[in-house]
Each structure stands twice: as structure tokens, then as C-alpha cells.
Structure 1
């Protein structure tokens, strides 16, 4: 399996998906996944985009097929953005369009602030603020990461998700070591992504949804309104659904919105 030699404590797993015409120059889309996931989380996006773009996915530090971190490990937004920048510099042909989902949007936003030279645009699916659900750690301590994932899955995927879908995503997230989960939670609950959004100059697309009140999405979820207040230049697309992980539930629709957004960036301005 392909791993990058970046540092002794960070050898991330990565994949490149490229079905573009080999005689044509192509832009790169770089993907950042969310908590307790891996690059597998974008399986539904890839077929829609790989014919037009070179796609790079990787597993975040401590997650996916990478080595877990200790519970005492100090994650930070700057470290995670630096990790992403290292992977981009190794695998991308210049600046990229960056797709991120859930807490991956926190990393992508800091990347755009710290390394604007690497980011052509941001496409943030179900972007989050700082999660604050203290019950998560206690549940993992008692029952494990997979049980936590399955417990929170109806709000992630919606009440209509099949048992097979719920199990697949629970199995994916359940591969995360509890030590990594503890360290990740300690970092992500202290982040202030709204402040980063205010500093970003590149074009932004936010793909969001509108779960009904009975769906508990947690206090850290951003709404279309407060996202636009923070990033006034952003385009916001709302895909109605009784979930918040729209990237997982509607990957085809999300990929189509991403394609249309990127295409719009190259169109001349109307006068």
C-alpha cells in the first residue's frame, strides 16, 4: 500500500485517482476527511470527479490506515494543516481545489489561511464549528469507538439510512483507536473555525443540509446563515435531508455541486 515518507511520526496512507485524458493537463482536487474516517469516506465522490480532475486522498494523522496516536498526543489546527500541506507538496502538481467534510473543514480552513499558495478554492461539505458533546468520550470509554459511531449514526446519515449503510459507516469509524479519538476530541473541541473562515480570500463553496429539529446534530454544527456571516464571499448550497453528513448521504449531488462550482471559477465575469 502507498505511504508517504514525510516524518518519522507521519507516514500517511494516500491514493491517487486519475481517469483524465493523459495528453491533457488536469487540475488536482485534494480531499480531507473528518473524524474517525479515512479516504474511503469519499468513495462516492471519486467516480463523478476523476474523469475531469486528478484526485488525491490521504488518511489523517492517527486515522484510517495510519498508525494511531497516543491519548496524550497534542493535535492542533496548525499541525493538521501542515500535514495536509506536506502531502499536497509531495503529490499535487501545484495549488489544488480542496474538498473537506465535517471536522476536515477545520483543517482545510486553517490550510487556506496558512498556505494560500496551495489552495485554489475550498469546497466544504457539512462544515462544522467546534463540537462540544461531552458524552462522546464517556461513551467511547465504556463501549468503544464503533459503538459511539453507531450511537451517533442516525443523526449523521438520517432516519432513512439502511442497516447495511449504518453498519458500513460504523465499521469504518470503528477502526479508529480510542487513544486517537481522545486526542482528536481534545483538539477539535477547542477550535474556532469561524475565525479562520473570516480570513480566507479564496473562493468557497459550502454544501450544507437542513435536518429537522428532532435530529440532534450537536452544538458545533454550522448553519448556512452563520457560515455566510463568517465567509461573506462563500457560495452556499443547501441540500435538504434529515442528516448532517451530506457528503456521505448524497455524494453524487455533492460532487455535481463541486463540478459546477469549479467550472464557474473559470468563467469570465459578466459586465
Structure 2
């Protein structure tokens, strides 16, 4: 993990990991987390991703190991996008594949709409076209009175399957997500609650993987229908009976679907001895 300071003076945490074959060109992939999260929550994604991509993660401002901005600091979608662009400049990455979970997907979409040359592909997990029409107005009073961790524990089945409740994984999630600074989180949620770019989805022209949690209740899920209709190149995959946080509960499946999608789009080459032997076997059969 390292840190950089944005042009408006906020210190943000980031990490760059690359275990691709050193004799191959390394493609950058930017992995963006959800609200109340951090890059560490996507740790289990890393072993498979870093064999294929130079993976760049960051803690969004006010999250994880990044600085919590003061109450008078700017908090807009444009500012969050600028944070990403400044990290890309630091990493000398003009364009990348973007993978986003929930709010991280919102920002990935905005990157694809506003800076299309910087986005080679999108992989979106539980990300509708903004959070307008979501549950923010109902959440905030409960968070203020109950506390964030208690609120998350009481609504845990909105995020995890019932058979995972009271497991170490879910308890760790509650500790991590519940540690988000409440006043900043309220600002962040209210910002996202005002976003709806359904009428701009046609601007997304890159290949897009859209993963829909089949039993999701967070956000306006009719947005997925609008995305399917408006984005020209969509690979839609539904995780039946899965609540919203599929990236937390089904990390291996999420990574495999991401790699499968990117492979189908021609962004991946077979790697390693096993892949070469498989290719030779196919040639022999042919």
C-alpha cells in the first residue's frame, strides 16, 4: 500500500500489484470498491486477477486507509472521478479495464461516459445507473440512531445469503464496513442518492459485463433493464438468489466471470504451461 495527495490536498491510499508473466505486455485493470468499503475487501479477488493484469486499487476518499476529508471539502462525482484520473496519471496509465462493485461501478460508468478513451472495458457488480430511488433516505435515520455496525447487522440479509450469517467472513465485513466515519458516510450516501444517468447510458461504448444479484434489494433494480437496453455491448449475467454484495459473498465466481468476459472479448491470452499443453492437445485432436 502507498499514498498520494490529490490536487485538493486529500491523502489517498492505493496499491498496485502485478504478477503477470514478465515477458508479456501488462494490461492495467482498475478495481474500485463499494461504499462503506475499502480495497482490502477485494483482497480475495487478487490472486487470480494479478496473474493476468496489473491491478490498481485505491481506497476512495473517506474510506479505508484514505483520509477523511473535512466537512467543508468538496464531495462531488466530478471530484471522485478526478481522484481516479490523478491516480491513473501517477501510475502512467492512459487507459485501463475498470471493475467496479456497487458505488465503485457508478464511478466506473461515469469514467466510461465522460472519458471513454480511458476505459477499455467495464465489469460491473450490483451497479445500477446511479443510486437515485434507492434506500438512502430510509437508511440514514437508522444509522444515526442505531449506529452503522448495528444497522448493517440488522439488515445483513440484504447483503449476504442467510447461510453465511454469523460466519467469520460476515463478522469481518461488519467490523470493516461499520468502521466508516458516520458523518462522511452520510455525505457520501446523500451524494450517491442524487445520481441517475439512465439517459446517458448510450455513451458507454466499450464492452460491458453486467452482473445482477438475483435477490438484490439495494438500489433501483429496474436500472439493470435500462442498462441492457441502452449499452450497445452488454454481457448480462444473473446470480440467482444472491443478495446485493456478491463481490463479498461470491468472490471466486466474480473473478472467474470477469476473466471469462475479458477473454471472450479478446483481452486475454492463454498463460502458463497448462494453457500451452491444452492448446497443443487441441491441435493434436484436430
TM-score normalized by the length of structure 2 = 0.85
Question: Do the aligned residues in 2 keep the contact of 1:34 with 1:101 (CA within 8 Å)?
Answer: yes
Greater Rg, structure 1 or structure 2? 2
Worse-matched range after superposition: 28-37 or 235-244: 235-244
Matched, 1:193 2:180: no
| Shift, 1:232, TM fit | 3.7
Give a deviation string over 1:197-249, Cα, whole Å, max 9, x none. 232111111111211xxx7x144335643320232421111122331211111
Structure 1 counterpart of 2:163, from 152, 160, 164: 160
**5+ residue gaps, structure 1:** none
Partner of 2:260: 260
Q: Following the alignment from structure 1 to structure 2, what is the Cα–Cα distance between the partners of residues 68 and 27?
A: 31
Question: Do the aligned residues in 1 keep the contact of 2:10 with 2:69 (CA within 8 Å)?
Answer: no
Q: Following the alignment from structure 2 to structure 1, what is the Cα–Cα distance between the partners of residues 261 and 110?
A: 21
**5+ residue gaps, structure 2:** 268-286
Give a deviation string over 1:159-178, Cα, whole Å, max 9, x none. 12131222111111112101
Provide closer, same or farther for how the CA distance between residues 238 and 185 of structure 1 changes in structure 2, counting only shifts above 3 A: same
Q: Following the alignment from structure 2 to structure 1, what is the Cα–Cα distance between the partners of residues 197 and 151?
A: 24
RMSD: 1.9
| Shift, 1:125, TM fit | 0.8
Provide closer, same or farther for how the CA distance between residues 196 and 223 of structure 1 changes in structure 2, counting only shifts above 3 A: closer
Q: Following the alignment from structure 2 to structure 1, what is the Cα–Cα distance between the partners of residues 190 and 112?
A: 23
SS state of the match for residue 98, structure 1? strand
Structure 2 counterpart of 1:143, from 136, 141, 146: 146
SS state of the match for residue 56, structure 2? strand
| Shift, 1:105, TM fit | 1.3
Question: Do the aligned residues in 2 keep the contact of 1:13 with 1:66 (CA within 8 Å)?
Answer: yes
Q: Which has the higher contact order (CA 8 A, sep 6+)?
A: 1
Give a deviation string over 1:132-152, Cα, whole Å, max 9, x none. 332211112112222222233
Provide closer, same or farther for how the CA distance between residues 52 and 218 of structure 1 changes in structure 2, counting only shifts above 3 A: closer
Q: Following the alignment from structure 1 to structure 2, what is the Cα–Cα distance between the partners of residues 152 and 178?
A: 17
Q: Following the alignment from structure 2 to structure 1, what is the Cα–Cα distance between the partners of residues 50 and 29?
A: 9
SS state of the match for residue 226, structure 2? helix
Provide closer, same or farther for how the CA distance between residues 193 and 151 of structure 1 changes in structure 2, counting only shifts above 3 A: farther
Q: Which runs of 4+ in 1 moved over 6 A?
A: none
TM-score normalized by the length of structure 1 = 0.89
Q: Following the alignment from structure 2 to structure 1, what is the Cα–Cα distance between the partners of residues 222 and 124?
A: 11
